Structure 1
Amino acid sequence: MFRRSIPLLGMAVLLSLTACAGKGDRPKGDLAASKVTTIGVNSYLWRATLDTLSFMPLVQTDSNGGVIVTDWYANPQAPGERVKFTVTILDQDLRADAVRVAGLREVNRNGQWVTAPVTAATTQKLEDLILTRARDLRRSSIAG
């Protein structure tokens, strides 16, 4: 039940979303700016992506390359449509432009799955949810 509420919770958090600072704005010694040695990408973005997509089945995860691919997911409230996402983490720093989401959407037309457009707002919202979660993880690690 909790995992399905993540998108709804994320929408509420999205309203209070603030932009990530640019590279030049970070103080020296900032944890988010440190290079990650255990995996190939920023660990906050990686964990945040896994958390955000936890309600969807995963097909592929590559922590060195920073790629997470979900399987098709049909919302129980809209069984005639399904979505699939690929999230790519592009940097070792926690930055707004370090995560990219690409989505596929299909709708059921007379028993056949037909490709339908994914709005840019949908992928942007998912990116924002991931960034918000990553910032929360970072704040928790600094405070703890």
Structure 2
Amino acid sequence: MKRRLIFTLTGLIVSLLLAGCDADLGAKSTFPEKSRGVVYQTGVKNEQTIFGKGGLFGSDDKDLQNGGNGTGGGGLGVNAYLWRASLDTLSFMPLSSADPFGGVIITDWYSSPDSPSERFKVTVYILDRRLRADGLRVTAFKQNLDAANQWIAVPLAPKVITDLENAILAKARELRVAREGQ
């Protein structure tokens, strides 16, 4: 009997608590007439995606794909012409890493068969989605083999880096002209 009384009282208390949650108590909800924060307009589409304007696989529409400003490629986070030209220019060197969304290409050390006592490593940074000379930065490193068979870092002539940048830019312009000629 005592057990039944506890069960009944518990049920009654739970019912009263739940009924109290539904009480209106005469309160009215009011909303401000003017917006205080951000106003969202319906029907306006200003979407940004991680794959760019053309989507994951790009678009056939040239204006949609490059926006008329020479960006080239819809799916990459960097300029597609600079990206392709960099890969083509450095194709003789082994790649260590290539990040198309961050725009970084890192080669592994390369030794020419003609001079096995020196080796080079190149890193290309594509900094912009537009095809511009200041949207590209190249760093290069050179090491020579000393008498103790240890690789020693040696300074590289700035002309080598400039020549590499110019070769990449020339190839990128060539790719763009070929694409626009289609």
TM range (shorter): 0.7 to 0.9
Distance 1:108 1:45 in 2: 33
Residue identity opposite 2:100 in structure 1: S
When Rg is computed on C-alpha atoms for both structures, the one with the higher figure is: 2
- Aligned pairs for 1:1-144 (under 5 A) are 30=68, 32=70, 34=71, 36-110=73-147, 111-144=149-182
Report the CA distance between 1:30 and its aligned residue: 3.5
Greater RCO (Cα-Cα under 8 Å, separation 6 or more): 1
Gaps of 5+ in 1: 1-28
RMSD: 1.3
Number of residue pairs aligned between Structure 1 and Structure 2:
115
Identity %: 47
In terms of fraction of residues, the more helix-rich structure is 1
CA shift for structure 1 position 109: 0.4
Checking the alignment, whether the CA contact within 8 Å between 1:36 and 1:92 is kept in structure 2 is: no
- Give the whole-Å Cα distance in 1 for the aligned partners of 2:68 and 2:129: 13
How far the C-alpha of 1:134 sits from its partner, in A, is: 0.2
**TM-score (normalised: structure 1):** 0.76
Which whole-Å CA distance do the structure 2 matches of 1:30 and 1:136 have between them? 17
TM-score, length basis structure 2:
0.61
